[in-house]
Amino acid sequence: MNISFLSTIVFIAVFAAVVLVHELGHFIVARLRKVEVEEFGFGLPPRVLTLFHWKGTAFTLNWLPFGGFVRPRGENDPSVPGGLAASSPWTRLAVLFAGPLMNLLLGVLVFSLLFHQMGVPDYSQVQITDILPDSPAARAGIQVHDVVLRANDMPIHDAAQLRQIIYSNLDRPMELTLSRGGAVIHLTATPSSARTEEEGALGIAMGPALVPARSVFQIVGYGSLAVYGQTRALVLLPAQMLRGQINSEDSRFIGLKGIYDLFGQAVSRDVRSRETSPASASSEAQPPTFFTLQLIGVLTVSLGVFNLFPIPALDGGRILFVLPELLLHRRVPPNLENIVHAVGMALLLAFMLYVNVMDFLNPAVIGLP
């Protein structure tokens, strides 16, 4: 199958699924809290047809295949009985939180599947995660995914220890014992003092080795930690941007084209890592990559966290208007709230338009590791 066509199918399917999971969270909790839902749309309007009705909800198919939407009854009008706006503040909070929460739970599932496929980190072993071209490591025959067992006959248990040994042997040959695909390999590499700190004396990047998980609970635990780590990074990102701690190009927003380009790279890398050829069969086999699965996890967590930001029209902005009612027992006037959300939605759409146009006029240069 053509990789570009496959990338397009994967991108549309993943993007639609991530948004639908978000809307499914709103729908499930709304129904559980006795809030009537008028429509659950697959895709975005205009409508193609109504698939069926269930308990007062019309399930519709729409022309644009990017996700979906939920339309609760009386979403913005508290005078509509049985509607969302007429419900208690706790019910509205539950419905609003449900969408982002479903994205985060999906993130746990995706990252857990990723750890099941790749293995969980063992911090007592050091694995080579990247090698710079034309570096001492590359010339010595070291490969990505090699596990360093010994350096100059000293057992290696963490990256700091290996780094210390490397820089204690600048311009002198080092004996390395590596584990590669179950086989033990002995190599000699010479760290170079002429290389910059960014390049590294050997030209390698290191990390904990990935080993098979001992149980489902361990896999889910690491999946949860991955979601927590990404959530924390996204929450701290605005403050880091304001302080100038992150390069403007690294913190740039990307739109549909930018995300599509990333999926194109991910799918291409994953497909090629699974291809077999006479050349690859004669060389040491390398484990397959899982960039697409990683990107799905990143996308669903990003959508969940971004929707919780206190921006009008998003779930987080709507939650912000519910909090005074809980704390002060007084509701913000619905007309004022609707105006704020309408203005927020207009500004948000303008920003999204700008981001997507810039994806074409000045594409972001984003490369997978």
In tens, the pLDDT along 259-276 reads: 999 999 999 999 998 886
pLDDT of residue 120 exceeding 80: yes
Q: Mean pLDDT, to the nearest integer, of 154-178?
A: 95
d(CA 225, CA 332): 37
What mean pLDDT, rounded, does the chain reach? 92
Q: How far apart are CA 42 and CA 62, in angstroms?
A: 6
Quickly state the pLDDT bin for 246 (edges 50, 70, 90): confident
**Cβ–Cβ under 8 Å, residues 202 and 163:** no
Confidence of residue 280 (pLDDT cuts 50, 70, 90): very low
Identify the pLDDT of residue 367.
74
Residue 368 pLDDT > 80: no
Instruction: Convert the pLDDT of each residue in 216-230 to its tens digit.
Output: 999 999 999 999 999
Report the alpha-carbon angle 11-291-226, nearest 5.
105
pLDDT (mean) for 74-100: 95
Record the pTM: 0.88
DSSP 279-336: HHHHS---PPP-HHHHHHHHHHHHHHHHHHSS-TTSHHHHHHHHHHHHHHS-PPPHHH
Band of residue 197 on the pLDDT scale cut at 50, 70, 90? confident
Q: Sort 226 into a burial class: Cβ within 10 Å, 0-12 / 13-18 / 19+.
A: buried
* Residue 282 clears pLDDT 60, i.e. is over it: no
Is residue 171 within 8 A of residue 312, CB to CB? The reply is: no
| Confidence at 249, pLDDT banded by 50, 70, 90 | low
250, pLDDT greater than 90:
no
Which residue in the block uniquely carries the two structure tokens 């930690």? 225
Residues 6+ apart with CB under 8 A from 101: 25, 304
Q: What average pLDDT does range 277-295 have in this prediction?
A: 70
pLDDT score at 285: 56
Q: 248 pLDDT exceeds 80?
A: no
Residue 148, pLDDT > 60, answer yes
Closest C-alpha among 232, 230, 233, 211 to residue 115: 211
250-259, 319-328, 351-360: segment of lowest average pLDDT: 250-259
Work out the percent of the chain whose per-residue pLDDT is above 70: 96
What number is the average pLDDT over the span 107-121?
Answer: 96
Q: Is the pLDDT of residue 132 over 70?
A: yes
pLDDT at 224 (0 to 100) = 98
pLDDT band, residue 281 (cuts 50/70/90): very low
> Of 240, 243, 222, 221, which is closest to residue 232 (Cα–Cα)?
240
pLDDT digits (tens, 9 = 90+) for 32-82: 999 999 999 999 899 999 999 999 999 999 998 878 999 999 999 999 999
Indicate the pLDDT class of residue 22, thresholds 50, 70 and 90. Answer: very high
- The 3-class SS string of 123-141 reads EEEEEEEEECCCCHHHHHC
